[in-house]
Amino acid sequence: MSWFARGDSDQLRRLLQLEQQRREAADAEIQRLRAGLEAVPVGLVITDEQGKVVVRTKGNAAGGHADVLVDEAVERLLVAALRGEVVEQRLSLFGPPPRVLQVRGIPLANGGALAVVDDLSDRARLDAVRTDFVSNISHELKTPVGALAVLAEALADSDDIEVNRHLALKMVEEAHRASGAIDDLLELSRIELGGPGDPEEANLAAVLGEAVARHRLTAETAGVQLKVACISPDFVHGDRRQLVSAVSNLIDNAVKYSNRGGVVSVAAHAAEHRSQPVVEIEVADSGIGIPARDLDRVFERFYRVDRARSRETGGTGLGLAIVRHVANNHGGDVTVRSREGEGSTFTLRIPLNHEE
């Protein structure tokens, strides 16, 4: 009897060990599943057939008072999903920061229900940027193209040599304006998609010299003096083409918003910014300046401080956006100091030891 008892006891112990191992494996599997669900970038709420919540993940939690609105929507849609309905609701939360969430209720095969909370904020912002982009660039191209059509019709109907000459010159101006808009778009796209580009030890004097040379004639025509001040250090590590483009756009902006007889100065020097050695490239003008309310927005695409003056001088409003992207590509930044009626100083900072 004792032998059978010992055998039964050993077998029972083995069964208990196997059951313990099975439970541990099941617990580990559940923990992996929960970790996987938490890693999904959406909020999930799963209920059983009675509506009791069995799984809830945070996903992109809204936070603050917005949680109450989200919870109310989730609860309402889960009730509908338990009735077998597939429902969804879009929530616009004003923030800050503003967010757009989509909540969906989905019935499950076992009689339970699933609610999915998806954060659409980035997609909504991207859609807004695309809409603004198409609207603005359509306007920028429509204006010179429309002017070209009108001028061409007038030219076709005129036999006066002087009038024809004037019309032809205006057509050249509008063609250049349309070409400039396309060039700015291509440049912005290239810099955005190209990232840091092809970094090298670029000669700083040559970079600034090439940028200044691009606008020497325009500045002389506008009665604006271009001056190049001190340049130090001799070299900067970065994509030469992007750096020339950034400085060129800063000079172009300074010349456009300077009055006749004004001065635009370009300088570069080594400095320390946020405990990091940098090269600061400064473009200063004595022009009309920027109102304080506009300082935070001047680097946005298509944003113009003075729309009336912009129509006179041309341009797409993409120049400073290009500068900002070049700065970001090089791990630096660009800032502006300005006082209305006294001029502006733009500072492009490029780290001296930026690691790709």
Tell me which residue of 301, 302, 295, 215 sits closest to 254, measured CA to CA: 215
Distance of alpha carbon 306 from alpha carbon 346, whole angstroms? 17
State yes or no: pLDDT of 47 exceeds 80: yes
Tell me which residue of 264, 170, 265 sits closest to 222, measured CA to CA: 264
Place of tokens 């919870």: 71
Instruction: Dump pLDDT digits (tens) for 308-328.
Output: 445 455 556 788 888 999 999
Distances (CA, A) of 349 to 154, 220, 229, 249, 352: 49, 28, 17, 15, 9
Domains, the chain, ranges and CATH? Answer: 2-121 (3.30.450), 122-194 (1.10.287.130), 198-356 (3.30.565.10)
What pLDDT does residue 1 have? 47
Phi/psi of residue 157, nearest 5 degrees: -95, -5
What pLDDT does residue 21 have? 79
**CB count, 10 Å around CB of 51?**
13
Tell me which residue of 169, 173, 185, 181 sits closest to 142, measured CA to CA: 181
Q: With contact defined as beta carbons under 8 Å apart, do 116 and 104 qualify?
A: yes
Average pLDDT, the chain: 82
What pLDDT does residue 64 have? 47
Distances (CA, A) of 220 to 172, 173, 262, 316, 319: 20, 18, 11, 22, 21
Place of tokens 């030469």: 240
**CB count, 10 Å around CB of 114?**
17
3-state SS record for the chain:
CHHHHHHHHHHHHHHHHHHHHHHHHHHHHHHHHHHHHHHCCCEEEEECCCCCEEEECCCCCCCCCHHHHHHHHHHHHHHHHHCCCCEEEEEEECCCCCEEEEEEEEECCCCCEEEEEEECHHHHHHHHHHHHHHHHHHHHHHHHHHHHHHHHHHHHHCCCHHHHHHHHHHHHHHHHHHHHHHHHHHHHHHHHHHCCCCCEEEEHHHHHHHHHHHHHHHHHHCCCEEEEEEECCCEEEECHHHHHHHHHHHHHHHHHCCCCCCEEEEEEEEEEECCEEEEEEEEEECCCCCCHHHCCCCCCCCCCCCHHHHHHHCCCCCHHHHHHHHHHHCCCEEEEEEECCCEEEEEEEEECCCCC
What pLDDT does residue 196 have? 67
Distance of alpha carbon 77 from alpha carbon 81, whole angstroms? 6
Q: With contact defined as beta carbons under 8 Å apart, do 347 and 282 qualify?
A: yes
Half-sphere exposure of 326 (CA within 13 A, CB side): 30
Instruction: Dump pLDDT digits (tens) for 271-310.
Output: 888 888 999 999 999 888 888 888 888 888 777 666 544 5
Question: Does this model's pTM top 0.85?
Answer: no
What pLDDT does residue 212 have? 92
Percent of the chain at pLDDT exceeding 90:
25
